[in-house]
Structure 1
Amino acid sequence: MKQFYKSKSLPRLSFLFVLLFSVITVVNSCKKDDDEGYQDHLVQFEVKASAGGVIKTIVTQIGTSQNTMYNTTQTPLTSPWTSGEIFVNSSQAQLNLDANADMPNTDSELIINLWIDGNIVKTDKKVGKGVLTASIDYSFLEL
């Protein structure tokens, strides 16, 4: 046994084991750091106004792409309004929906919903008379 400890190959063997251990440790730690990647989601915006309410403006935003719609005779905004289903990659990060409507009564409601993959993930409800504004902001990124 004394010969093994006095052997000249012991430092080389020790260096080889340390190097092998380091490589295995680095490879295993990198596997844990891999992102799961971005996923596609089915997104839908929805705006509802109670009877007699008139939707004036709807603004949708996916990532940096914004779309503003105004209620005009050429492009009327009827209640309930939906955007239709849109495929959105979670790399877009931010979704926004804003709407305003002119409501006739004190108990009138303006409700906006954000649907993702068939479920309502966020909603905003405003009650009152006059011009009401509702807003939703949503991020795919976990904070």
Structure 2
Amino acid sequence: MKKFYKSKSLLKLSFLFAILFSVVSVLNSCKDDEEDEFTDHLVRFEVKATTGVELKTIVTQVGTAQNTMYNTAVTPYVAPWSSDEFFVNSSQSQLNLDANAQMPNSDSELTVTIYVDGEVAKTKTVIGSGIKSVSLDFSFLEL
């Protein structure tokens, strides 16, 4: 009879241990889910051109929110166009900057730049005469 009693106690003890282990495992797995994988970044767009270049259109896009500006400068264009700095959460994933301009000379330049956290993330330049366009995109998934 004592053997039977010991085996029942052992069974109850192992069952209690299994339940306790399950509860601890679930609590530990929930703790890992609370970490935020997305972060905020300081972003700024910039468009530069050589003297005489007339900007026609600048398009900025953050995630799905698009902003289009027409005839943003007068000829001759000297100072760069720049957006204000703003915060973007990396969950937005995609930044786009497009510009087109009337370029008077074969050595005229149009440069677009995306800054992330105060550093150049991407830049692109087009050189030539006539109406030229330049497009640039940046993904936070690349970080």
TM-score by length of 2: 0.81
2:68 maps to a residue whose letter is T
Looking at structure 2, the residues matched to 57 and 20 of structure 1 have their Cα atoms a distance apart, in angstroms, of 65
5+ long unaligned stretches in structure 2: none
SS in 2 for 1:21: helix
1:24 equivalent in structure 2: 24
Q: 1:139 Cα deviation (Å)?
A: 2.4
Instruction: Confirm or deny: 8 A CA contact 2:105 2:129 kept in the other structure.
Output: yes
Residue 76 (structure 2) pairs with residue 76 (structure 1): no
Q: In terms of mean alpha carbon deviation, does 42-51 or 17-26 score higher?
A: 17-26
Does 1:131 pair with 2:131? yes
Residues 4 and 10 in structure 1, CA contact (< 8 A), matched pair in contact too:
no
The aligned residue for residue 51 of structure 1 is 51
Gaps of 5+ in 1: none
Compute the displacement of 1:44 (Å): 0.7
1:52 is displaced (CA, Å) by: 1.9
Q: Which residue of 2 aligns with 1:8?
A: 8
Aligned with 1:135: secondary structure?
Answer: strand
**Percent identity of paired positions between Structure 1 and Structure 2:** 62
- In the TM superposition, what whole-angstrom CA distance separates every residue of 1:105-136 from its partner, at most 9, and x where no partner exists? 22222110001111111111112222221111
Residue in 1 aligned with 2:38? Answer: 38
- Other structure's SS at 1:7 match: helix
* Corresponding letter in the other structure for 1:15: F
How far 1:57 sits from its partner (Å)?
A: 0.6
How many residues of Structure 1 are paired with residues of Structure 2 in the alignment?
Answer: 139
Shift of 1:83: 0.8
Within 5 Å, which residues of 2 pair with 1:44-123? Answer: 44-71=44-71, 76=73, 78=77, 79-123=79-123
Per-residue deviation at 1:8? Answer: 1.2
Offset of residue 90 of structure 1: 2.5
> What letter is aligned with 1:29?
S
Q: C-alpha distance in 2, partners of 1:100/1:49?
A: 10
